[in-house]
A and B are shown apart, each in its own frame.
Chain A
Amino acid sequence: MTVGLVVVSHSRKLAEGSVELAAQMAPDVKFYPVGGTDDDRIGTDLEKAMAAFEAGLEEASGDGLVVLADLGSAVMTAESALEFCSEPDKVLLADAPLVEGLVAAAVAAQGGSSAAEVKLAAESVRFGPEPSDTAEDSQGRGEPIDSGVFELINPMGMHARPAAKIAGGLAGLDVEATVNGVDGTSIMELMSLAVGQGGKVKVEAWGKDSSKAVEYVRRLVEEGFGEL
Protein backbone atom coordinates (compact mmCIF):
# COMPACT_ATOMS: atom_id res chain seq x y z
CA MET A 1 0.00 0.00 0.00
CA THR A 2 0.99 3.60 -0.33
CA VAL A 3 0.38 6.87 1.43
CA GLY A 4 -2.89 8.51 0.33
CA LEU A 5 -3.10 12.17 -0.68
CA VAL A 6 -5.92 14.56 0.18
CA VAL A 7 -6.38 17.91 -1.55
CA VAL A 8 -8.51 20.51 0.23
CA SER A 9 -9.30 23.39 -2.09
CA HIS A 10 -11.83 26.20 -2.34
CA SER A 11 -12.75 24.97 -5.77
CA ARG A 12 -13.98 21.54 -6.82
CA LYS A 13 -12.39 22.04 -10.24
CA LEU A 14 -9.05 23.01 -8.72
CA ALA A 15 -9.07 19.99 -6.39
CA GLU A 16 -9.98 17.60 -9.19
CA GLY A 17 -7.67 19.25 -11.72
CA SER A 18 -4.59 19.20 -9.51
CA VAL A 19 -5.30 15.55 -8.69
CA GLU A 20 -5.67 14.75 -12.38
CA LEU A 21 -2.29 16.31 -13.05
CA ALA A 22 -0.47 14.60 -10.19
CA ALA A 23 -2.09 11.21 -10.79
CA GLN A 24 -0.38 11.02 -14.19
CA MET A 25 2.90 10.52 -12.35
CA ALA A 26 1.51 8.29 -9.63
CA PRO A 27 -0.80 5.60 -10.99
CA ASP A 28 -0.88 3.58 -7.76
CA VAL A 29 -1.51 6.46 -5.37
CA LYS A 30 -5.02 7.11 -4.05
CA PHE A 31 -6.12 10.75 -4.21
CA TYR A 32 -9.03 12.38 -2.40
CA PRO A 33 -9.96 15.74 -3.94
CA VAL A 34 -12.12 17.90 -1.66
CA GLY A 35 -13.26 21.21 -3.12
CA GLY A 36 -16.17 23.61 -3.00
CA THR A 37 -19.12 23.82 -0.65
CA ASP A 38 -21.94 21.28 -0.50
CA ASP A 39 -23.94 23.36 -3.02
CA ASP A 40 -20.89 23.62 -5.28
CA ARG A 41 -19.97 27.22 -4.58
CA ILE A 42 -16.39 28.36 -3.99
CA GLY A 43 -15.47 27.50 -0.42
CA THR A 44 -14.40 24.69 1.87
CA ASP A 45 -16.61 22.17 3.61
CA LEU A 46 -15.57 20.59 6.90
CA GLU A 47 -17.81 17.57 6.52
CA LYS A 48 -16.41 16.72 3.09
CA ALA A 49 -12.85 17.04 4.43
CA MET A 50 -13.69 14.83 7.43
CA ALA A 51 -15.24 12.21 5.14
CA ALA A 52 -12.18 12.22 2.86
CA PHE A 53 -9.82 11.80 5.84
CA GLU A 54 -11.76 8.80 7.13
CA ALA A 55 -12.12 7.18 3.68
CA GLY A 56 -8.42 7.75 3.00
CA LEU A 57 -7.30 6.36 6.36
CA GLU A 58 -9.29 3.22 5.78
CA GLU A 59 -7.85 2.62 2.32
CA ALA A 60 -4.30 3.55 3.28
CA SER A 61 -4.43 0.75 5.88
CA GLY A 62 -1.88 2.18 8.28
CA ASP A 63 0.35 4.08 5.84
CA GLY A 64 -1.46 7.30 6.55
CA LEU A 65 -2.38 10.42 4.61
CA VAL A 66 -0.72 13.64 3.57
CA VAL A 67 -2.96 16.67 3.06
CA LEU A 68 -2.34 19.67 0.81
CA ALA A 69 -4.54 22.76 0.84
CA ASP A 70 -4.75 25.87 -1.30
CA LEU A 71 -5.48 29.15 0.52
CA GLY A 72 -5.77 30.07 4.21
CA SER A 73 -9.27 28.89 5.00
CA ALA A 74 -8.74 25.55 3.28
CA VAL A 75 -5.76 25.08 5.60
CA MET A 76 -7.99 25.97 8.56
CA THR A 77 -10.67 23.54 7.39
CA ALA A 78 -8.05 20.80 7.08
CA GLU A 79 -6.81 21.59 10.59
CA SER A 80 -10.36 21.50 11.93
CA ALA A 81 -11.03 18.16 10.23
CA LEU A 82 -7.85 16.86 11.84
CA GLU A 83 -9.22 17.77 15.27
CA PHE A 84 -12.20 15.49 14.67
CA CYS A 85 -10.20 12.76 12.94
CA SER A 86 -10.20 9.18 14.28
CA GLU A 87 -6.43 8.75 13.82
CA PRO A 88 -4.97 12.28 13.88
CA ASP A 89 -1.37 11.06 14.13
CA LYS A 90 -1.77 9.28 10.77
CA VAL A 91 -2.70 12.47 8.91
CA LEU A 92 0.03 14.99 8.10
CA LEU A 93 -0.69 18.49 6.79
CA ALA A 94 1.93 19.66 4.31
CA ASP A 95 2.71 23.37 4.14
CA ALA A 96 3.40 23.57 0.43
CA PRO A 97 2.16 25.20 -2.78
CA LEU A 98 -0.74 23.09 -3.97
CA VAL A 99 0.17 22.05 -7.50
CA GLU A 100 3.95 21.70 -7.23
CA GLY A 101 3.68 20.23 -3.74
CA LEU A 102 1.08 17.71 -4.82
CA VAL A 103 3.17 16.54 -7.76
CA ALA A 104 6.24 16.11 -5.54
CA ALA A 105 4.15 14.32 -2.90
CA ALA A 106 2.54 12.06 -5.48
CA VAL A 107 5.89 11.01 -6.91
CA ALA A 108 7.27 10.33 -3.44
CA ALA A 109 4.17 8.32 -2.47
CA GLN A 110 4.38 6.36 -5.71
CA GLY A 111 8.00 5.53 -4.85
CA GLY A 112 6.87 3.99 -1.57
CA SER A 113 7.97 6.78 0.76
CA SER A 114 6.50 7.06 4.25
CA ALA A 115 3.96 9.74 5.12
CA ALA A 116 6.68 11.86 6.77
CA GLU A 117 8.84 11.63 3.64
CA VAL A 118 5.91 12.45 1.37
CA LYS A 119 5.15 15.55 3.47
CA LEU A 120 8.81 16.56 3.28
CA ALA A 121 8.84 16.04 -0.49
CA ALA A 122 5.85 18.38 -0.82
CA GLU A 123 7.36 21.00 1.46
CA SER A 124 10.74 20.89 -0.25
CA VAL A 125 9.32 22.64 -3.32
CA ARG A 126 8.31 25.69 -1.34
CA PHE A 127 11.35 27.81 -2.12
CA GLY A 128 12.12 26.46 -5.55
CA PRO A 129 15.60 26.11 -7.01
CA GLU A 130 18.12 28.65 -5.80
CA PRO A 131 21.24 27.81 -7.78
CA SER A 132 23.11 31.01 -6.95
CA ASP A 133 22.67 30.54 -3.20
CA THR A 134 23.74 26.91 -3.15
CA ALA A 135 27.23 27.73 -4.32
CA GLU A 136 27.66 30.08 -1.37
CA ASP A 137 26.12 27.49 0.91
CA SER A 138 28.61 24.86 -0.11
CA GLN A 139 31.47 27.22 0.58
CA GLY A 140 29.99 28.08 3.96
CA ARG A 141 29.94 24.43 4.88
CA GLY A 142 33.60 23.97 3.95
CA GLU A 143 34.97 20.87 2.23
CA PRO A 144 32.45 18.02 2.02
CA ILE A 145 33.08 15.10 4.36
CA ASP A 146 32.37 12.67 1.57
CA SER A 147 31.59 12.99 -2.11
CA GLY A 148 31.29 11.01 -5.28
CA VAL A 149 30.61 11.40 -9.00
CA PHE A 150 28.39 8.86 -10.69
CA GLU A 151 27.20 8.40 -14.24
CA LEU A 152 23.51 7.81 -14.83
CA ILE A 153 22.95 4.59 -16.74
CA ASN A 154 19.17 4.34 -16.75
CA PRO A 155 17.61 5.39 -20.08
CA MET A 156 15.34 8.09 -18.62
CA GLY A 157 18.00 9.81 -16.56
CA MET A 158 17.01 12.01 -13.64
CA HIS A 159 13.23 12.07 -14.00
CA ALA A 160 10.67 12.25 -11.23
CA ARG A 161 10.97 8.75 -9.79
CA PRO A 162 14.76 8.72 -9.36
CA ALA A 163 14.56 12.22 -7.91
CA ALA A 164 11.97 11.03 -5.39
CA LYS A 165 14.12 8.04 -4.44
CA ILE A 166 17.21 10.17 -3.90
CA ALA A 167 15.33 12.87 -2.00
CA GLY A 168 13.37 10.41 0.11
CA GLY A 169 16.47 8.47 1.15
CA LEU A 170 18.62 11.52 1.86
CA ALA A 171 15.83 13.10 3.90
CA GLY A 172 15.96 10.11 6.26
CA LEU A 173 19.68 10.51 6.96
CA ASP A 174 21.50 12.85 9.31
CA VAL A 175 23.22 14.67 6.50
CA GLU A 176 23.23 17.80 4.38
CA ALA A 177 23.75 16.61 0.85
CA THR A 178 23.82 18.37 -2.51
CA VAL A 179 23.58 16.86 -5.96
CA ASN A 180 25.25 19.00 -8.61
CA GLY A 181 24.96 21.85 -6.15
CA VAL A 182 21.21 21.61 -5.46
CA ASP A 183 19.49 20.39 -2.32
CA GLY A 184 19.51 16.59 -2.43
CA THR A 185 16.27 16.33 -0.46
CA SER A 186 14.29 18.43 -2.94
CA ILE A 187 12.58 16.40 -5.64
CA MET A 188 11.85 19.50 -7.70
CA GLU A 189 15.43 20.75 -7.55
CA LEU A 190 16.79 17.33 -8.48
CA MET A 191 14.37 17.12 -11.41
CA SER A 192 15.34 20.62 -12.50
CA LEU A 193 18.93 19.39 -13.01
CA ALA A 194 17.60 17.47 -16.02
CA VAL A 195 20.56 15.09 -16.11
CA GLY A 196 20.05 12.54 -18.87
CA GLN A 197 21.48 9.06 -19.51
CA GLY A 198 25.28 9.25 -19.56
CA GLY A 199 25.22 12.48 -17.58
CA LYS A 200 27.02 12.73 -14.27
CA VAL A 201 25.79 13.57 -10.80
CA LYS A 202 28.16 14.87 -8.18
CA VAL A 203 27.09 14.16 -4.61
CA GLU A 204 28.62 16.19 -1.80
CA ALA A 205 27.74 15.47 1.80
CA TRP A 206 28.23 17.12 5.16
CA GLY A 207 27.28 15.58 8.52
CA LYS A 208 27.31 12.31 10.44
CA ASP A 209 25.79 10.17 7.68
CA SER A 210 27.89 11.63 4.84
CA SER A 211 29.36 8.33 3.67
CA LYS A 212 25.98 6.59 3.93
CA ALA A 213 24.45 9.33 1.80
CA VAL A 214 27.05 9.07 -0.95
CA GLU A 215 26.84 5.28 -0.85
CA TYR A 216 23.05 5.46 -1.04
CA VAL A 217 23.12 7.57 -4.19
CA ARG A 218 25.90 5.47 -5.72
CA ARG A 219 23.87 2.29 -5.26
CA LEU A 220 20.69 3.85 -6.72
CA VAL A 221 22.57 5.16 -9.74
CA GLU A 222 24.40 1.89 -10.37
CA GLU A 223 21.13 -0.04 -10.13
CA GLY A 224 19.70 2.36 -12.70
CA PHE A 225 17.10 3.30 -10.07
CA GLY A 226 15.59 -0.15 -10.58
CA GLU A 227 14.64 0.72 -14.15
CA LEU A 228 17.06 -1.45 -16.09
Chain B
Amino acid sequence: MTVALGVDWAIQWLTLSAKVMSEHRAELIELDRAIGDSDHGENMDRGFQAVLDKLAQTPPETPGAALKLAAMALMSKVGGAAGPLYGTAYLRAATALGDSAEIDAAAIAEALTAARDGIVARGKAELGDKTMVDAWSPAVNAAGEVLAEGGDAVEVLAAAAEAAEVGAVTTDPLVARKGRASYLGERSAGHRDPGAASTALLLRAAATAAGFPEGPAE
Protein backbone atom coordinates (compact mmCIF):
# COMPACT_ATOMS: atom_id res chain seq x y z
CA MET B 1 0.00 0.00 0.00
CA THR B 2 1.37 3.42 -0.90
CA VAL B 3 0.63 6.29 1.41
CA ALA B 4 1.60 9.75 0.19
CA LEU B 5 1.33 12.90 2.26
CA GLY B 6 0.47 16.29 0.82
CA VAL B 7 0.32 19.89 1.93
CA ASP B 8 -2.70 19.11 4.12
CA TRP B 9 -0.49 16.89 6.23
CA ALA B 10 2.19 19.56 6.53
CA ILE B 11 -0.33 22.22 7.56
CA GLN B 12 -1.95 19.81 9.99
CA TRP B 13 1.48 18.96 11.44
CA LEU B 14 2.38 22.61 12.01
CA THR B 15 -1.06 23.40 13.44
CA LEU B 16 -0.81 20.43 15.78
CA SER B 17 2.75 21.46 16.69
CA ALA B 18 1.47 24.89 17.76
CA LYS B 19 -1.21 23.25 19.89
CA VAL B 20 1.26 20.84 21.50
CA MET B 21 3.82 23.58 22.20
CA SER B 22 1.09 25.64 23.84
CA GLU B 23 -0.08 22.67 25.94
CA HIS B 24 3.45 21.73 27.00
CA ARG B 25 4.66 25.29 27.47
CA ALA B 26 4.89 25.07 31.27
CA GLU B 27 6.53 21.64 31.17
CA LEU B 28 9.25 22.81 28.76
CA ILE B 29 9.83 25.94 30.83
CA GLU B 30 10.27 23.70 33.90
CA LEU B 31 12.81 21.48 32.11
CA ASP B 32 14.70 24.54 30.89
CA ARG B 33 14.58 26.19 34.30
CA ALA B 34 16.51 23.25 35.74
CA ILE B 35 19.45 23.41 33.33
CA GLY B 36 19.05 26.44 31.08
CA ASP B 37 17.54 29.89 30.90
CA SER B 38 13.91 28.77 31.34
CA ASP B 39 12.69 30.28 28.09
CA HIS B 40 12.30 27.19 25.89
CA GLY B 41 8.59 26.68 26.50
CA GLU B 42 7.72 30.30 25.96
CA ASN B 43 10.00 30.59 22.93
CA MET B 44 8.57 27.51 21.21
CA ASP B 45 5.01 28.59 21.95
CA ARG B 46 5.68 32.05 20.55
CA GLY B 47 7.49 30.65 17.53
CA PHE B 48 4.69 28.29 16.57
CA GLN B 49 2.04 30.97 17.12
CA ALA B 50 4.01 33.00 14.55
CA VAL B 51 3.96 29.94 12.27
CA LEU B 52 0.16 29.82 12.58
CA ASP B 53 -0.08 33.52 11.68
CA LYS B 54 2.07 33.01 8.60
CA LEU B 55 0.04 29.95 7.56
CA ALA B 56 -3.12 32.03 7.72
CA GLN B 57 -1.59 34.94 5.81
CA THR B 58 -0.06 32.97 2.95
CA PRO B 59 -1.36 29.39 2.76
CA PRO B 60 1.43 27.20 1.31
CA GLU B 61 0.77 24.95 -1.68
CA THR B 62 3.30 22.18 -1.09
CA PRO B 63 4.70 20.43 1.99
CA GLY B 64 8.10 21.95 1.22
CA ALA B 65 6.65 25.46 1.09
CA ALA B 66 4.87 24.88 4.41
CA LEU B 67 8.10 23.81 6.12
CA LYS B 68 10.02 26.73 4.63
CA LEU B 69 7.42 29.15 5.95
CA ALA B 70 7.71 27.56 9.37
CA ALA B 71 11.51 27.78 9.22
CA MET B 72 11.50 31.52 8.61
CA ALA B 73 8.92 32.18 11.32
CA LEU B 74 10.83 30.07 13.88
CA MET B 75 14.19 31.64 13.11
CA SER B 76 12.77 35.12 13.56
CA LYS B 77 10.44 34.65 16.48
CA VAL B 78 11.83 31.96 18.77
CA GLY B 79 14.71 34.04 20.13
CA GLY B 80 16.69 31.30 21.85
CA ALA B 81 18.98 28.65 20.38
CA ALA B 82 15.93 26.65 19.30
CA GLY B 83 15.16 29.34 16.68
CA PRO B 84 18.17 28.88 14.43
CA LEU B 85 18.30 25.14 15.19
CA TYR B 86 14.68 24.26 14.37
CA GLY B 87 14.69 26.93 11.65
CA THR B 88 17.66 25.28 9.97
CA ALA B 89 16.07 21.84 10.44
CA TYR B 90 12.80 22.84 8.76
CA LEU B 91 14.61 24.75 6.04
CA ARG B 92 16.84 21.79 5.16
CA ALA B 93 13.82 19.48 5.24
CA ALA B 94 11.97 21.89 2.93
CA THR B 95 14.91 21.91 0.52
CA ALA B 96 15.01 18.10 0.55
CA LEU B 97 11.29 17.93 -0.28
CA GLY B 98 11.58 20.46 -3.10
CA ASP B 99 8.26 21.38 -4.69
CA SER B 100 6.74 17.89 -4.70
CA ALA B 101 3.02 18.02 -4.07
CA GLU B 102 3.02 14.59 -2.47
CA ILE B 103 5.75 12.91 -0.50
CA ASP B 104 6.26 9.21 0.19
CA ALA B 105 8.13 7.26 2.85
CA ALA B 106 11.51 7.71 1.17
CA ALA B 107 11.04 11.48 0.92
CA ILE B 108 10.04 11.67 4.61
CA ALA B 109 13.12 9.74 5.65
CA GLU B 110 15.27 11.96 3.48
CA ALA B 111 13.72 15.13 4.90
CA LEU B 112 14.27 13.91 8.48
CA THR B 113 17.91 13.17 7.66
CA ALA B 114 18.38 16.62 6.12
CA ALA B 115 16.78 18.22 9.19
CA ARG B 116 19.05 16.32 11.58
CA ASP B 117 22.14 17.12 9.48
CA GLY B 118 21.16 20.80 9.51
CA ILE B 119 20.91 20.80 13.30
CA VAL B 120 24.27 19.09 13.66
CA ALA B 121 25.88 21.54 11.23
CA ARG B 122 24.37 24.55 12.98
CA GLY B 123 24.80 23.52 16.61
CA LYS B 124 27.91 21.34 16.19
CA ALA B 125 26.60 18.94 18.81
CA GLU B 126 27.18 15.20 18.66
CA LEU B 127 25.17 12.26 19.90
CA GLY B 128 25.43 12.14 23.69
CA ASP B 129 26.01 15.87 24.20
CA LYS B 130 22.55 16.14 25.83
CA THR B 131 20.91 18.17 23.08
CA MET B 132 18.07 17.76 20.61
CA VAL B 133 20.46 15.70 18.46
CA ASP B 134 19.91 12.89 20.98
CA ALA B 135 16.25 12.80 19.89
CA TRP B 136 16.76 13.56 16.18
CA SER B 137 19.48 11.00 15.47
CA PRO B 138 17.61 7.93 16.76
CA ALA B 139 14.53 9.24 14.92
CA VAL B 140 16.44 9.38 11.64
CA ASN B 141 17.88 5.91 12.20
CA ALA B 142 14.49 4.42 13.03
CA ALA B 143 12.92 6.10 9.99
CA GLY B 144 15.63 4.59 7.78
CA GLU B 145 15.11 1.11 9.20
CA VAL B 146 11.34 1.19 8.70
CA LEU B 147 11.82 2.51 5.18
CA ALA B 148 14.23 -0.33 4.39
CA GLU B 149 11.66 -2.83 5.66
CA GLY B 150 9.14 -1.40 3.21
CA GLY B 151 7.19 0.78 5.64
CA ASP B 152 4.93 3.55 4.35
CA ALA B 153 5.10 7.26 5.15
CA VAL B 154 2.91 6.99 8.25
CA GLU B 155 4.93 4.08 9.62
CA VAL B 156 8.17 5.95 8.99
CA LEU B 157 6.86 8.99 10.90
CA ALA B 158 5.55 6.81 13.73
CA ALA B 159 8.92 5.07 14.09
CA ALA B 160 10.70 8.43 14.12
CA ALA B 161 8.38 9.79 16.80
CA GLU B 162 8.81 6.75 19.02
CA ALA B 163 12.59 6.76 18.67
CA ALA B 164 12.70 10.50 19.46
CA GLU B 165 10.68 9.91 22.63
CA VAL B 166 13.08 7.18 23.74
CA GLY B 167 16.02 9.39 22.75
CA ALA B 168 14.71 12.29 24.83
CA VAL B 169 14.49 10.04 27.90
CA THR B 170 18.08 8.90 27.37
CA THR B 171 19.25 12.50 27.87
CA ASP B 172 18.18 12.38 31.54
CA PRO B 173 21.44 11.04 33.01
CA LEU B 174 23.76 12.77 30.55
CA VAL B 175 26.11 15.65 31.37
CA ALA B 176 25.58 18.49 28.89
CA ARG B 177 28.48 19.28 26.59
CA LYS B 178 26.75 21.85 24.36
CA GLY B 179 24.44 24.79 24.86
CA ARG B 180 23.61 26.79 27.96
CA ALA B 181 23.32 23.65 30.10
CA SER B 182 27.00 22.84 29.51
CA TYR B 183 27.90 25.68 31.91
CA LEU B 184 26.37 23.55 34.67
CA GLY B 185 28.71 20.62 34.06
CA GLU B 186 27.87 17.62 36.27
CA ARG B 187 24.85 19.41 37.71
CA SER B 188 23.10 19.08 34.34
CA ALA B 189 22.79 15.30 34.89
CA GLY B 190 19.41 14.13 36.17
CA HIS B 191 17.37 16.49 34.00
CA ARG B 192 15.87 15.91 30.57
CA ASP B 193 17.16 18.12 27.79
CA PRO B 194 14.37 20.57 26.84
CA GLY B 195 15.32 20.56 23.14
CA ALA B 196 15.19 16.77 22.99
CA ALA B 197 11.82 16.90 24.75
CA SER B 198 10.37 19.41 22.27
CA THR B 199 11.77 17.39 19.35
CA ALA B 200 9.91 14.31 20.60
CA LEU B 201 6.69 16.34 20.86
CA LEU B 202 7.08 17.77 17.35
CA LEU B 203 7.84 14.43 15.72
CA ARG B 204 4.90 12.84 17.56
CA ALA B 205 2.72 15.63 16.13
CA ALA B 206 4.02 14.77 12.64
CA ALA B 207 2.93 11.14 13.06
CA THR B 208 -0.45 12.10 14.52
CA ALA B 209 -1.04 14.57 11.68
CA ALA B 210 -0.40 11.72 9.23
CA GLY B 211 -3.14 9.71 10.91
CA PHE B 212 -1.08 7.49 13.19
CA PRO B 213 -3.59 6.74 15.92
CA GLU B 214 -1.44 5.92 18.92
CA GLY B 215 0.06 8.42 21.31
CA PRO B 216 3.43 8.31 23.02
CA ALA B 217 4.57 4.98 24.42
CA GLU B 218 5.17 6.45 27.89
**Do chains A and B interact in one complex?**
yes
Task: Answer whether residue B75 sits at the interface, using C-beta atoms and an 8 A cutoff.
Answer: yes
Task: Answer whether residue B80 sits at the interface, using C-beta atoms and an 8 A cutoff.
Answer: yes
Task: Answer whether residue A41 sits at the interface, using C-beta atoms and an 8 A cutoff.
Answer: yes
Chain B neighbourhood of A41, CB < 8 A: 79
Known interface pairs A43-B39, A43-B43, A71-B180; A76-B79 also in contact (CB < 8 Å): no
Chain A neighbourhood of B79, CB < 8 A: 37, 41-45
A39 to chain B, nearest CB (A): 9
Task: Answer whether residue A143 sits at the interface, using C-beta atoms and an 8 A cutoff.
Answer: no
B78 contacts A43, C-beta separation under 8 Å? yes
Could you tell me which residues of chain B, from 89 to 148, have a CB within 8 Å of some CB in chain A?
122-123
Task: Answer whether residue A151 sits at the interface, using C-beta atoms and an 8 A cutoff.
Answer: no
Chain B neighbourhood of A61, CB < 8 A: none
Count how many chain A residues have C-beta atoms less than 8 Å from C-beta atoms of the other chain: 16
B180 contacts A77, C-beta separation under 8 Å? no
Could you tell me which residues of chain B, from 35 to 92, have a CB within 8 Å of some CB in chain A?
37, 39, 43, 72, 75-85, 87-88
Chain A neighbourhood of B6, CB < 8 A: none
Count how many chain B residues have C-beta atoms less than 8 Å from C-beta atoms of the other chain: 22
Interchain CA distance A129-B80 in the complex, whole Å: 33
A80 contacts B39, C-beta separation under 8 Å? no
Chain B neighbourhood of A37, CB < 8 A: 77, 79
Most buried by B among A38, A43, A47: A43
Chain A neighbourhood of B81, CB < 8 A: 72-73, 76
Chain B neighbourhood of A45, CB < 8 A: 76, 79
Task: Answer whether residue A79 sits at the interface, using C-beta atoms and an 8 A cutoff.
Answer: yes
B179 contacts A72, C-beta separation under 8 Å? yes
Chain A neighbourhood of B87, CB < 8 A: 46, 80
Interchain CA distance A73-B78 in the complex, whole Å: 11
Known interface pairs A72-B180, A80-B122; A43-B84 also in contact (CB < 8 Å): no
Closest 6 CB pairs of A and B: A43-B79, A73-B81, A76-B84, A46-B75, A37-B79, A80-B84
A residues contacting B by CB (< 8 A) are 37-38, 41-47, 71-73, 76-77, 79-80
Assuming A43-B79, A76-B85, what are 13 further A-B pairs, CB within 8 angstroms?
A37-B79, A41-B79, A42-B37, A43-B39, A44-B84, A45-B79, A72-B179, A73-B82, A76-B123, A77-B75, A77-B84, A80-B75, A80-B87
